[in-house]
């Protein structure tokens, strides 16, 4: 699987073209960021027509400009005594409705374009949750893969030594994303606690033994499946008996798989950057436990799955013109849970040809604009990332609330609140789409519903 941007540029109306032309001129070379903004601006045209104050106040122009971008040097030493230099970032995009909130990504592909697209989407996602959190994102071009625990610790300590002066429980609260799981959050939190001499809720995704919320690791995957179930319920259907394709094999993919199994569906695929496995018998609870140990403890490759379960077939990753073969496995539903632009127009066409009628995005922006157009054209129930994967950040906000109260909610209580948030997001998307004449279109629904609350807050708080 490769990270690639949309294969064609969608022209859109004169308004969208003008807006994008200006944005591209002042942020050249940031293809992922442009892609994320184009989708939102296309959805908002009708809102700007209906609400002229948004245009007059230049809300959209303000919203695409981060409030602050921090870039810094991270130097650290590997186990052989070699010195490495990486880049660290935090994009503090919008704090109109709450402290900046969003994950940290550690992956060699991280650059400002990737973090601006993620931070921009996070504004709308966080608004959709109905919770008081602004939008931000950060990370580094450092990949933990293949590094020892000691190396990862030294990197995290060096990264936090600079980042700590820019974050805080009421200012900016980072969490995990690709390459940042429980281990990294532990090292980052420890260094923050040492440097600030305070035990506060400055990071979420902590271990429940020291301030984390129960169910935070599960929340993104579970929430995505809850969102899928809400979409299906509008047609009187459930996940029971459905064959599902899941990509990735990290945090989001694992807990998506767990919840699909619980709701009676069958997961046939998983992947990592090296390749993908197809298990025609379905991944059951015992096989999933093997994957969790493989990925979270032994930090191995998904190819080992096919060595352990010989009925499954491993395919090394390919990047041909015919797309990613994972999306050519016949199924009823797809849960892309690896990375951006992993479903192209070609892949989307394979999915609809194979009768996939439901796509719920666990990853951020996993579908290119061409792919989205194919889904819309064929009436696929399509839950875009900023709605479908908001469960993770929602439980992060619950973690902030519990930390503030010095309280701990039960697993059942967190799960019940998560279900309510996902159902609420679903209903807000449906309603916003209906009001603006896009019935059943969750792309427009999520962008519009996410936007209006932040836009109104920005206007009420004056020119900032």
Q: Which residues make up the interface to ligand NDP (CB under 6 A)?
A: 1, 3, 107, 109, 145, 176-179, 181, 220, 248-253, 272-274, 337-339, 362-364, 389, 392
| CA separation for the pair 304, 135 (Å, rounded) | 38
**Does residue 124 contact residue 446 with C-beta atoms inside 8 Å?**
yes
137 among known catalytic residues = yes
Give the distance, in angstroms, between the CA of residue 317 and the centroid of all CA atoms in the same chain: 22
The nearest distance, CB 102 to ligand 2IT, in angstroms, is: 5
Closer Cβ to ligand NDP, 48 or 176, answer by number: 176
The nearest distance, CB 225 to ligand 2IT, in angstroms, is: 16
Which positions ≥6 away from 94 have C-beta within 8 Å? 63, 66, 67, 100, 123, 134, 135, 136, 454
| CA separation for the pair 421, 129 (Å, rounded) | 6
* Closest residue to bound ligand 2IT by CB: 103
DSSP for residue 298 = S
| CA separation for the pair 443, 373 (Å, rounded) | 11
| CA separation for the pair 337, 356 (Å, rounded) | 16
The nearest distance, CB 288 to ligand 2IT, in angstroms, is: 21
Closer Cβ to ligand NDP, 56 or 298, answer by number: 298
Q: Does the footprint of ligand 2IT cover residue 102 (CB under 6 A)? A: yes
Interface characters, 155-184, with ligand 2IT (x: CB under 6 A):
--------------------x-x-------
Pick one of ligand 2IT, ligand NDP, none as the site partner of residue 102 (Cβ within 5 to 8 A by kind). ligand 2IT
Interface characters, 387-416, with ligand 2IT (x: CB under 6 A):
-----xx--x--------------------
Near ligand 2IT in 201-240, by CB under 6 A: 204
* Closest residue to bound ligand NDP by CB: 250
Pick one of ligand 2IT, ligand NDP, none as the site partner of residue 178 (Cβ within 5 to 8 A by kind). ligand NDP
Q: Tokens 């070609």 sit at which residue? A: 346
Q: Does the footprint of ligand 2IT cover residue 265 (CB under 6 A)? A: no
Among residues 125, 137, 259, 386, which one is catalytic?
Answer: 137
Regarding beta strands 243-246 and 333-335, do their DSSP bridges make them parallel or antiparallel, or are they unpaired? parallel
Closer Cβ to ligand NDP, 217 or 345, answer by number: 217
Closest listed residue to residue 266, CA positions, set 247, 252, 285, 291: 285
**Does residue 169 contact residue 202 with C-beta atoms inside 8 Å?**
yes
Pick one of ligand NDP, ligand 2IT, none as the site partner of residue 101 (Cβ within 5 to 8 A by kind). ligand 2IT
Contacting residue, 92, 129, 339, 364, with ligand 2IT by CB under 6 A: 364
Which positions ≥6 away from 260 have C-beta within 8 Å? 225, 239, 242, 244, 246, 266, 267, 335
Q: Does the footprint of ligand 2IT cover residue 271 (CB under 6 A)? A: no
Long-range contacts for 198-201 (Cβ within 8 Å, ≥24 apart)? Answer: 200/168, 200/169, 200/403, 201/169, 201/173, 201/399, 201/400, 201/403, 201/404
Query: Which residues are known to be catalytic?
Result: 137
Q: Using CB under 6 A as the criterion, which residues of the chain lie in contact with ligand 2IT when the complex forms?
A: 101-103, 125, 175, 177, 204, 364, 392-393, 396
């Amino acid at each position: 699987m490769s990270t690639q941007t949309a294969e064609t540029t969608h022209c859109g109306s004169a308004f969208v073209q003008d807006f994008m032309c200006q944005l591209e001129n002042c942020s050249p070379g940031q293809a992922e960021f442009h892609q994320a903004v184009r989708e939102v601006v296309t959805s908002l045209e009708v809102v700007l027509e209906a609400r002229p104050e948004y245009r007059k106040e230049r809300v959209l122009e303000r919203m695409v400009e981060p409030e602050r971008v921090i870039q810094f040097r991270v130097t650290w030493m590997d186990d052989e005594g070699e010195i490495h230099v990486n880049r660290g970032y935090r994009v503090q995009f919008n704090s109109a409705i709450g402290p900046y909130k969003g994950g940290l990504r550690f992956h060699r592909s991280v650059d400002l374009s990737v973090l601006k697209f993620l931070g921009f989407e996070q504004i709308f996602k966080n608004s959709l949750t109905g919770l008081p959190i602004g939008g931000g994102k950060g990370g580094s071009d450092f990949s933990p893969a293949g590094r020892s625990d000691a190396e990862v610790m030294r990197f995290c300590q060096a990264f936090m030594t600079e980042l700590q002066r820019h974050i805080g429980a009421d200012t900016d609260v980072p969490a995990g994303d690709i390459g940042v799981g429980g281990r990294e959050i532990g090292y980052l939190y420890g260094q923050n606690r040492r440097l600030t001499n305070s035990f506060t809720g400055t990071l979420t995704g902590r271990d429940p033994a020291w301030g984390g919320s129960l169910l935070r690791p599960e929340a993104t995957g579970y929430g995505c499946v809850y969102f899928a179930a809400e979409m299906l319920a509008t047609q009187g259907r459930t996940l029971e008996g459905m064959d599902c394709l899941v990509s990735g094999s990290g945090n989001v993919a694992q807990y998506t798989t767990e919840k699909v199994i619980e709701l009676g569906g069958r997961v046939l695929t998983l992947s990592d950057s090296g390749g993908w496995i197809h298990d025609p018998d379905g991944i059951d609870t015992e096989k999933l436990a093997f994957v969790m140990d493989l990925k979270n403890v032994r930090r191995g490759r998904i190819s080992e799955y096919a060595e352990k379960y010989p009925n499954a077939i491993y395919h090394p990753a390919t990047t041909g013109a015919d797309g990613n073969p994972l999306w050519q496995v016949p199924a009823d539903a797809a849960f892309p849970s690896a990375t951006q632009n992993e479903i192209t127009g070609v892949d989307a066409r394979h999915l609809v040809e194979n009768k996939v009628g439901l796509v719920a995005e666990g990853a951020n922006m996993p579908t290119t604009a061409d792919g989205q157009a194919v889904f819309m054209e064929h009436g696929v129930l399509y839950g875009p990332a900023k709605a479908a994967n908001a469960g993770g950040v929602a439980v992060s906000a619950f973690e902030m609330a519990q930390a503030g109260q010095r309280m701990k909610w039960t697993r059942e209580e967190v799960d019940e609140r998560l279900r309510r948030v996902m159902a609420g997001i679903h209903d807000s998307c449906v309603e916003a789409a209906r009001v603006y004449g896009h019935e059943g279109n969750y792309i427009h629904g999520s962008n519009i519903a996410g936007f209006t609350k932040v836009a109104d807050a920005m206007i009420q708080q004056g020119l900032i």
